[in-house]
Structure 1
Amino acid sequence: MQLARETPTDWWEVEALYDLCFAPGREALSSYRLRDGGDPVAELCLLLRDDSGVAAAIRYWPVRVGAARVLLLGPIAVHPTHQSEGLGGWLIRESLDRARDLGWTRVLLVGDAPYYSRFGFARMHDVKMPPPTNPARVLGLALVPGAWDGVCGQVEKPDQPYSTSDAT
């Protein structure tokens, strides 16, 4: 496996992987409305490639909760022929380390707590995703201690386009 940053030429191959791994209509989910019209955080959009193509991919998007800048993790997908090999965990750990190194302090996702809790994610009771998101699936991780302290409210698109100086 080769780990690399996603490039613009990888976009459609990664989209095909997401289409394969997720149900039709995935783009109707509330998290996609937060991504519409914005750019992902390119430094954190990673993929794993083997001789057959993209085996796994992860993307991150800038959002905000109140005045706090937040990373929205997702989607992440592993090709069915590579599931249960630990590739998803590898991408999550690597991308979280890179996010921390870039100065990001908090990460949010919508997912299954039993899976993501092993990476330190926990339910965010005071953070609200747009409906119809199940509140029990809104999970957060502080990349530095206390990063989520006092952060609450609705998850929204950032006020302005993301730049690398927006990490904190």
Structure 2
Amino acid sequence: MYDLAAEAPEDLWEVEALYDTCFAPGRTALSSYRLREGVPPVAGLSMVARDELGILAGAIRFWPVLVGGHQALLLGPVAVHPTRQGEGLGGLLIETSLAQAGPQGWDRVMLVGDAPYYCRYGFTRLEDVIMPPPTNPDRVLGRALSEAAWDGITGEVTRVC
């Protein structure tokens, strides 16, 4: 059993330590991090999951971006502590946060990730959405949170200033 809550400022360093544990040392060199620099995560959608002892087990963050000038959410990173993987916690974080995104006024969400994993949450390849290099275009995925939200949305993904 996990307690999911909005990420609070006091969670910052613990969440960063989790990401350091779960991802390669060069994670901050990825192009998606250039889109996040100097931009705070989306409040209320970025979440932490703690066990019954209050120990951080997982976290997910969302960031505002522009795709061809249209607002979108950039999902990521999502991480589950290695000792908690395989329990469905990553899926719980994804589904819970996405269920809250639409009512908060977001129409579309994108990420850079593995299609076989994220397709179970409704993500498909975004053909004409261009992430900054060196991103593999096959890993650029999106999900509409409202009817036809990705229809006609093309172009470069840029940082929100």
Report the TM-score when normalising by structure 1: 0.93
> 1:26-105, aligned counterparts within 5 Å?
26-50=27-51, 51=53, 53-105=55-107
Compute the displacement of 1:67 (Å): 2.1
Separation of aligned partners in 2, 1:116 and 1:128: 19
Tell me how many residue pairs correspond in the alignment.
Answer: 159
Compute the displacement of 1:42 (Å): 1.2
Matched, 1:157 2:121: no
Separation of aligned partners in 2, 1:36 and 1:67: 18
- 125, 145, 148: which is aligned to 2:147? 145
Deviations 1:19-58 (A, max 9, x none): 0000001000000000001111011010100126110000
- 107, 110, 115: which is aligned to 2:117? 115
> 1:121-140, aligned counterparts within 5 Å?
121-140=123-142
* Moved segments of 4+, more than 4 Å: none
Gaps of 5+ in 1: 161-168
Equivalent residue for 1:9?
10
Separation of aligned partners in 2, 1:12 and 1:63: 23
Separation of aligned partners in 2, 1:90 and 1:117: 15
The alignment partner of 1:15 has SS state of helix
Separation of aligned partners in 1, 2:103 and 2:81: 28
Gaps of 5+ in 2: none
Which amino acid counterpart does residue 98 of structure 1 have in structure 2? Q
The alignment partner of 1:85 has SS state of coil
Separation of aligned partners in 2, 1:74 and 1:151: 20
Compute the displacement of 1:101 (Å): 1.2
Separation of aligned partners in 2, 1:118 and 1:52: 29
The alignment partner of 1:44 has SS state of coil
Report the TM-score when normalising by structure 2: 0.97
The alignment partner of 2:134 has SS state of coil
Separation of aligned partners in 2, 1:43 and 1:145: 23
Separation of aligned partners in 2, 1:97 and 1:17: 24
- What RMSD, in angstroms, separates the aligned Cα atoms of the two structures? 0.8
